[in-house]
């Protein structure tokens, strides 16, 4: 019975972030933790800087995006379909942190905008 409980536990945020940054590194994309949140279950926000003054921001998908078949996955959604000015992204992140002080902020830099995230189906 114990193996069943472990099988469906979600990966801790700190472990997920470390694995995500390793994935970015193997693809030649620089990434760093800008803000460390709650290690167990802090929400993770991923900013992808395009190095031209614009960026994409990916936020945790709403709970309705998850089905019972994959409860341990982390899905993300972009806040906009097109890149936004970096100051707009920073304003959004400031608001998110006021709402959720346990959140993580991870930032990567990639001119092509690669993010390596699992996006929720919309």
Secondary structure (H, E, C), 5-27 = HHHCCCCCHHHHHHHHHHHHHHC
**SS3 state of residue 47:** strand
Residue 49 sits in which domain range?
A: 31-66+73-121
Q: What is the pLDDT of residue 2?
A: 46
Whether 64 has a pLDDT exceeding 60, the answer reads no
Q: Does residue 15 fall inside a structural domain?
A: no
Region 61-72: mean pLDDT is 59
> What total of structural domains would you count in the chain?
1
38 domain-assigned: yes
Cβ-contact 55, 109 below 8 angstroms: no
Q: What CATH number did the domain enclosing 77 receive? A: 3.40.1530.20
Neighbours of 98 (CB within 10 A): 8
What is the pTM (predicted TM-score) of this model?
Answer: 0.86
How large is the average pLDDT for residues 9-33?
A: 93
Residue 74 clears pLDDT 60, i.e. is over it: yes
Strand partners, 78: 58
Whole-angstrom Cα distance, residue 20 to residue 53?
A: 23
Quick check: is 111 in a domain? yes
């Amino acid at each position: 019975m114990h193996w069943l409980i472990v099988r469906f536990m979600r990966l801790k945020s700190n472990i997920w972030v470390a694995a995500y940054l390793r994935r970015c590194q193997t693809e030649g994309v620089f990434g760093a933790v800008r803000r460390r949140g709650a290690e167990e279950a802090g929400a993770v926000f991923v900013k992808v800087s395009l190095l031209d003054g614009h960026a994409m921001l990916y936020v945790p998908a709403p709970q309705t995006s998850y089905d019972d078949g994959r409860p341990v996955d982390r899905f993300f959604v972009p806040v906009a379909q097109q890149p936004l000015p970096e100051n707009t992204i920073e304003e959004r992140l400031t608001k998110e942190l006021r709402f959720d002080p346990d959140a993580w902020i991870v930032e990567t830099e990639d001119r092509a905008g690669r993010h390596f995230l699992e996006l929720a189906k919309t």
